[in-house]
Structure 1
Amino acid sequence: LASVRANRRHVAALLARVQAIPHERWSKDDRVDWLLFRSQLESADFFDRILRPQESNPQIYVSEAANGVFTLLKKEYAPHRTRALAAAARLEQVPAMLATARANLTRPVRLYAKLAIDAVRGGDDLYTTSLMTLADSLSDTERARLLGARDNAVRALHEFADWLERGQPSMAEWRPMGDVQYRHLLRDVLLLPYTSDQIAMLGDVELARYRGLEAMLRNPSFASPDPARSSHVPKDQAEFLSVYESRLAEIVTFLNDRHLVTIPPYLGKFLIRQLPAAFKPTSPGGFMNPPGVYDPDPTGFYFIPTYDPASANFYIRAAIEDPRPILGHEGIPGHFLQLSIANHLTDEIRRQHYDNTFIEGWALYGEEMLMREGLYPDQSPSQGQVLRLSRYRAARVAVDVNLQTGRWTFEQAVKYFMDAGGLDREAAEGEAAGAASSPSQKIGYMVGKWQIMQLLGRYRDQQGPNFRLGAFHDRLIANGSLPVSVLEWLILDDSSSVRRLEQ
C-alpha cells in the first residue's frame, strides 16, 4: 500500500498545481485542454481517495489475474508460443499478487467480495480451456512450465476466494459515497453542469417516455426479445458468433447509402467473441474492447455471453432475434467507430481523454438514430428492442444516483431494474452490481444521449438550410471522447457550460 499512497499524494499535488495555473487569458483550445487535463487528474484523485479500491475491492485483484491471460487470448498479435510463454510468466506472479491483495484489503466490502468470489468460481475455463489453445507449439519443458504456473495460479485464486468467504461475515456492508461527493463527481470529474437531483429527474422523464413508447407499439410484447420470433436460431456457439458478426455489414451499407456518418479507411475489423465466465458477474451483457490508443492493429472486439437458446438473459434473447441494435451500439456507428476515430487525434490530451458520458451517450444515440432513419421495419420487434434498450438505460440513471447518494439499498436497485427497466433478475443483479462498483458509469448512456440530442437541435438551428445530419455526426465524433459541455464550445462556440465548470 505504500506505493499506492505515494501515488495518491503525487496526483493530489499535481492536481493542486494544475488548478492554480492562471488560464483565463489562454486561447480556446488551450483552455479546453487545461479543463480536460484537470478533469483527468480529478478522476484519478477522486476514485482513489473516495473508493480506495486497493483496500476495499477484491475484484481488482481477481480481474488483474484474469485480464493478464485474457489480453493474450483475444488478439493474434504474436505466435501461439510467444503468447503462451507470456501467459506462463504472468501466471507465475499470481500467487504473490494475491498475497499482496490479502495484505492490502484492510477494509474489504462484502458486496465486492461476493462479486470477486463469483468471478473466481466461474472463471476456471479461462485458464484450463481457453488458455490451452496457445499451448500447441510448446516444447515439453515449456508446456510443463505453463501447466505448473496455471495450476498454481488457479489454486491461489480459489484459496483467495476461500479466504474471502471466511471473512465475509465480518466485512463491511457496501456504503454509498453520499450526495456531496456525488455532486463533486458530476461537476469536477465528469464536467456535467447538473446536480444529482437534476440527473435523477432526467432519468425519470426518459424512463416514462420509453415505457410509454413501448406501450404504443401495436404489439407491446415486441419490446421483450423472443427467439421464437426469429427466422433462424443458431445451432451452436460458433454459428451464433458468426451470424452475429455478419449482420454488421447491413448497418454499414445503410449508413453509407444515406450518408449518415463517414467511415474512415483506417477502420479495422470488428470481431465477436465469447465472454469468459470470469467477467459475467458485473458484465452480464458482455463488453467491447476498442483498438488500443497506440496499437497499430485497428481490430476491435465485442465479447458476448455464452450462447444458450433457452436462456432468459435479455442480451442473449436480443442477439438471437436481431443483433443489429446491440451491434450498432458496440460496433458501427457506436463504440468501435467512435473510439477508433478518437485514437487518431493529434492533440494528446484529447486523444487520451475518455469521457464515459459521451462515449455511451453516442452509442445509445446511434441505436435510436438508426431506428428513426429507417433501418428497421415499422412496428417490428427490432424497433421494440431499441425502445426496451433505451428504457432500461433510463432506469440505470435512477439506480446510479439513488444507490450512490444513499437513498436506495442494493435490493431496491435490483427490483427497480426488474420493474422499471424490464430486465430479468440475473441481468438486474449484474446491472445493480455494476452501479455499486463503478459510480456514474450507468448514467452515461441516457445523460450523454440527452446532451447529444440537445446539441443536435441547437446545431440544426445554427446551420439552418445548410444542416445535414451526417455532417453533424462527423463533426461530433471528430473531437474524440470529450464531454458535451466542452463540445458545445468547440461546435457551437458557446462557452457558458465551461465557464460554470471553471469556477
Structure 2
Amino acid sequence: MSRFTPVFFALMTLVPTAGAAEPNPEDVKLAAFFRATLDEDFRRHPVYATQQGNHDHDDRLDDLSPAARAEDVKRAKELLAELPKKVDYARLSRDGQIDFEIWRHSLKSQVWAAENTDPFATDPRTYGEYMSDSVFLLFTQSTLPRERNVANAARRIAYVPKVVEAAKVSIKNPPKILTEIAIKRTAGAIAFYEKDIYEFAKETPATSELTSPCRAAVAALKEYSEYLEKVVLPKSEGDWRLGKDKFYQKLELELNAGLTGDEVIKAAEAEADRVEREMYYVAKQLWSKLFPGKALPPDDATGRHDTVKAVLDELGKDHGKPEEIVQDARKTVDKIKTFIKDKHILTLPNPDQCQIIEMPVFQRGFSAAYLNPAPPLDPKAASLYAVAPPPEDWPAARREAFLREYNRSMLQILTIHEAYPGHYVQLEYGNRNPSLIRKVLYSGVFAEGWAVYTEQMMLDQGYGDGDLALRLHQLKFYIRAVLNAILDHKMHCANMTDDEAMKLLVGRGFQTEGEAFGKVQRSKQSSCQLSTYFVGRTAFYRLRQEAQRQQGDKFDLGKYHEAVLNQGTLSVKYLPELLGVKK
C-alpha cells in the first residue's frame, strides 16, 4: 500500500510534455494557469507543500478552522467552473487534454467529498497528519540541511496546540473505531515528541531548540488524548458505513475506470472462485512433501479448502521474531533486485533511495506496511518502505498469527509489492514524468494495480525458481486483493457484520486471525480504497495480455514495463491509448 495522498483540496500544477520542440500554446496556457495557483496553494497548505517537496513553508502548519476549510471548498468549485473558460480543451495536444481531464476529475472528486463527507468532523485521525506526520516528514523526506530542518521543525511544532484547538472545535460524532485509533496514534505522537524526534533529528534534548516546543506539544497532545477519551469517545456513535448510494458514487470517482459498483463486485466474486481453484492445484503438489504418508483430503469443496489451509498453516511456521520483522524484510531486497536486473524486468532506479524502516507508532493501525515515495518537488529525498511489527498490546496468540501471516515467503511477496518492482520503483518512474499533474494527482488504482500485477509477473518470469511455497503465498496475497473489493463493498453496502467479514477473510482468503482482524478494522477506517487493488491489477493484467498478443515475437517485457511506468501515475483507462494497444 502507498501512503502518498494529496492533502484535501490542494491545487495542482502541470508542465508541458518534455521533448516537444514547439510547445502547444494551449498546453503552455494550461501550465501557466496551474502555476499561478500553486504558490498560493502552498501558502495556504504548508503540510501539502512539504508532502510535495516544496519547503518554503516547512515552518508552519495549516489553518484548520471551519472558515478556512469552507474557503477551500469555495476555491475548488470556482476552479472547476473557471478551468474550461481559461483553457480551450479542443486546442490542447492529446497529452494536454489528458492532463486537463485528470485535473478536472480531481476537482469534481474534491467537491463531491466536501458535499458528502467531512473528515475533520467525523474522523479524529485526520488531525494526526498535522500533529506528528508533518514534522516526521521534515527529518525523513527532505534534502535540506539538517540544521534548517531542525529550525523549521521547532517552529512547526509550536503550531501543534492550535491544531488541538481546531480539533476540539470541529470533531462532532465520529465512529467509535476512528476515535479509538486516534487515541492510540496520539499516544504514539506523544512518545515521538518525548523521545523519538531527537533520534530522527540527531539532536540532544538538553541543548536542542526542539526541546521547548516539544514539551508544549506533549502537554497539548496529552490534553487532546484526555479530550478524546473523556469527551469524544463516549459520544462516538457515528456510522462508519458509507451506504450503497454514496459508496457507488465515490467508487466511480475513485476508480475513474468506467466501472460501476455492480460490475466490480461481480468480477471480484468470479475471480475469487478462480484463484481458490488455482491455490488448490498448488497446495496439492506440496501435500506429500509436508505431510508424507498422510492421505490427501477428498477432492470436494471441504477437502480442497482443508488441503490449502493445512499446507499454508504448515508453511506459516517458518517466520521470524516480532522485533526482527524489519530486518527480515531488508534481507529479501538483494535477491529480488538481482533477479530484476538479470531477467531484464525493467531498469531499476539509480541511485536507490528506498529506506526500509519500522513504521512509527503514530502511523499504525491501518496496514502492516506502506511505501511513502520521494515527493515530486524533492525527488532526491528518500522513499520509505515502512513495516509494522505486531502491536505489543495484542494477545500472544494474535501476535503469533500475525507472524505466521508474514512468514518468510510472504515477506518476499510484500517486498515485491511495496518496493521492487512495485510501489517504490513505479513511483520513482512517476517522479520523472514531465507532467507535474501526473505526479501529484496520484491515481491509487494505477499504483496499487501495478504493485499487485508485479507479484504474479515476477514469479511467472522465474523468481523463486519454481518454489511452490512462494507461489502459494503469491496466490494468497492476490486473493487478499480480490477479497478486499468484496469486503469493501459488503461492509459499506450490505451491512456485513464483523463475524461475517472474519469468515470471508479467514475462510475464503486463508488469512490468519490477526491479519483478518486488522483488515476488518481497516475496512471501517476507509471506503473504496480497498477496491483499487483488484480493479487496478485487472486492468494491468489485461493490458499486458493484449499488448503481447498484438506485438507477438516483437514483445519485449522490460521495454513494455518501462513504457507503462513512463506515462506517470495516471488513470489506467488512458494506458491502452498511450501505449498504442487496441482494445
Instruction: After TM superposition, give the deviation of residue 396 of structure 1 in Å.
Output: 0.6
Partner residue of 1:133?
A: 199
Partner residue of 1:159?
A: 223
Partner residue of 1:446?
A: 534
- Give the Cα–Cα distance (whole angstroms) in 1 for the partners of residues 424 and 314 of structure 2: 24
Q: Structure 1 residues 51-60 or 292-301, which shifts more?
A: 292-301
Of the three residues 418, 422, 426, the one matched with 1:338 is 426
SS at match of 1:482: coil
Q: Does 1:398 align with 2:483?
A: no
Of the three residues 384, 389, 411, the one matched with 1:301 is 384
- The one-letter amino acid of 2:226's match is D
What is the RMSD of the two structures over their aligned residues, measured on CA atoms? Answer: 2.9
SS at match of 1:481: coil
Of the three residues 95, 99, 109, the one matched with 1:29 is 95
| Cα distance change on mapping 1:477 and 1:164 into 2, 3 Å | same
Instruction: After TM superposition, give the deviation of residue 317 of structure 1 in Å.
Output: 4.8
Instruction: Map 1:446-465 to 2 at 5 A.
Output: 446-465=534-553
Of the three residues 328, 332, 336, the one matched with 1:251 is 336
Of the three residues 338, 354, 369, the one matched with 1:286 is 369
Q: Does 1:260 align with 2:260?
A: no
SS at match of 2:89: coil
| Cα distance change on mapping 1:341 and 1:101 into 2, 3 Å | same
- Give the Cα–Cα distance (whole angstroms) in 1 for the partners of residues 237 and 271 of structure 2: 35
- Give the Cα–Cα distance (whole angstroms) in 1 for the partners of residues 149 and 314 of structure 2: 39
- Give the Cα–Cα distance (whole angstroms) in 1 for the partners of residues 528 and 244 of structure 2: 13
Q: Does 1:4 align with 2:93?
A: no
Instruction: After TM superposition, give the deviation of residue 226 of structure 1 in Å.
Output: 4.9
- Give the Cα–Cα distance (whole angstroms) in 1 for the partners of residues 277 and 222 of structure 2: 47
Q: Deviations over 1:301-360 (max 9, x none)?
A: 211113799833546752545632111111111111110011011122223331101100
- The one-letter amino acid of 2:229's match is E
Partner residue of 1:201?
A: 266
Instruction: After TM superposition, give the deviation of residue 13 of structure 1 in Å.
Output: 2.4
| Matched-pair contact (CA < 8 Å) for 2:240–2:525 | no
- Give the Cα–Cα distance (whole angstroms) in 1 for the partners of residues 172 and 326 of structure 2: 42
| Matched-pair contact (CA < 8 Å) for 2:325–2:389 | no
| Matched-pair contact (CA < 8 Å) for 1:177–1:406 | no
Q: Structure 1 residues 12-21 or 155-164, which shifts more?
A: 12-21
- Give the Cα–Cα distance (whole angstroms) in 2 for the partners of residues 79 and 22 of structure 1: 43
Partner residue of 1:150?
A: 214
| Cα distance change on mapping 1:29 and 1:418 into 2, 3 Å | same
| Cα distance change on mapping 1:136 and 1:437 into 2, 3 Å | closer
- The one-letter amino acid of 1:395's match is L
Instruction: After TM superposition, give the deviation of residue 404 of structure 1 in Å.
Output: 2.9
Q: Deviations over 1:63-99 (max 9, x none)?
A: 3212033223435845655544443333322122111
- Give the Cα–Cα distance (whole angstroms) in 2 for the partners of residues 56 and 64 of structure 1: 16
Of the three residues 180, 186, 190, the one matched with 1:120 is 186
What is the percentage of aligned positions where both structures have the same residue? 23
| Cα distance change on mapping 1:315 and 1:73 into 2, 3 Å | farther
| Matched-pair contact (CA < 8 Å) for 1:200–1:401 | yes
Q: Does 1:229 align with 2:314?
A: no
Partner residue of 1:40?
A: 106
| Cα distance change on mapping 1:5 and 1:429 into 2, 3 Å | farther
Instruction: After TM superposition, give the deviation of residue 483 of structure 1 in Å.
Output: 1.5
Q: Does 1:168 align with 2:252?
A: no
| Matched-pair contact (CA < 8 Å) for 1:226–1:318 | no
| Matched-pair contact (CA < 8 Å) for 1:224–1:385 | no
Q: Structure 1 residues 418-427 or 310-319, which shifts more?
A: 310-319
Instruction: After TM superposition, give the deviation of residue 199 of structure 1 in Å.
Output: 0.6
SS at match of 1:432: helix
- Give the Cα–Cα distance (whole angstroms) in 2 for the partners of residues 447 and 168 of structure 1: 36
Of the three residues 73, 79, 99, the one matched with 2:165 is 99
Partner residue of 1:58?
A: 124
| Cα distance change on mapping 1:134 and 1:443 into 2, 3 Å | closer
- Give the Cα–Cα distance (whole angstroms) in 2 for the partners of residues 370 and 135 of structure 1: 38
Q: Does 1:275 align with 2:359?
A: yes
- Give the Cα–Cα distance (whole angstroms) in 2 for the partners of residues 278 and 443 of structure 1: 25
Q: Does 1:312 align with 2:424?
A: no
| Matched-pair contact (CA < 8 Å) for 2:481–2:534 | yes
Partner residue of 1:482?
A: 570
Q: Which structure 2 residue ranges, 5 or more long, are not aligned?
A: 1-65, 287-307
Q: Deviations over 1:214-270 (max 9, x none)?
A: 22223334545856436xx47x84x654453243222222122222222244x4232
TM-score w.r.t. structure 1 length?
0.87
- The one-letter amino acid of 2:375's match is G
Q: Deviations over 1:437-473 (max 9, x none)?
A: 3322111111111111111122122212312222221
| Matched-pair contact (CA < 8 Å) for 1:62–1:157 | no
| Matched-pair contact (CA < 8 Å) for 1:414–1:429 | yes
Q: Which structure 1 residue ranges, 5 or more long, are not aligned?
A: 497-503
Q: Does 1:385 align with 2:459?
A: no
Q: Does 1:110 align with 2:176?
A: yes
Instruction: After TM superposition, give the deviation of residue 201 of structure 1 in Å.
Output: 1.5
| Cα distance change on mapping 1:12 and 1:319 into 2, 3 Å | farther
| Matched-pair contact (CA < 8 Å) for 2:173–2:238 | no
- The one-letter amino acid of 2:342's match is D
Instruction: After TM superposition, give the deviation of residue 62 of structure 1 in Å.
Output: 2.4
Partner residue of 1:501?
A: none
| Matched-pair contact (CA < 8 Å) for 1:186–1:192 | no
Instruction: Map 1:317-328 to 2 at 5 A.
Output: 317-318=405-406, 320-321=408-409, 323-328=411-416
Q: Does 1:213 align with 2:278?
A: yes
- The one-letter amino acid of 1:261's match is L
Instruction: After TM superposition, give the deviation of residue 427 of structure 1 in Å.
Output: 2.9
- Give the Cα–Cα distance (whole angstroms) in 2 for the partners of residues 118 and 44 of structure 1: 29
| Matched-pair contact (CA < 8 Å) for 1:40–1:189 | no
SS at match of 1:287: strand
Partner residue of 2:252?
A: 187
Partner residue of 1:500?
A: none
| Matched-pair contact (CA < 8 Å) for 1:248–1:327 | yes
Instruction: After TM superposition, give the deviation of residue 191 of structure 1 in Å.
Output: 1.3
| Matched-pair contact (CA < 8 Å) for 1:410–1:432 | yes
SS at match of 2:103: helix
- Give the Cα–Cα distance (whole angstroms) in 2 for the partners of residues 86 and 99 of structure 1: 21
Partner residue of 1:89?
A: 155
- Give the Cα–Cα distance (whole angstroms) in 2 for the partners of residues 319 and 279 of structure 1: 22
Q: Does 1:361 align with 2:449?
A: yes
- The one-letter amino acid of 1:247's match is T
Instruction: After TM superposition, give the deviation of residue 188 of structure 1 in Å.
Output: 3.8
- Give the Cα–Cα distance (whole angstroms) in 2 for the partners of residues 225 and 341 of structure 1: 39
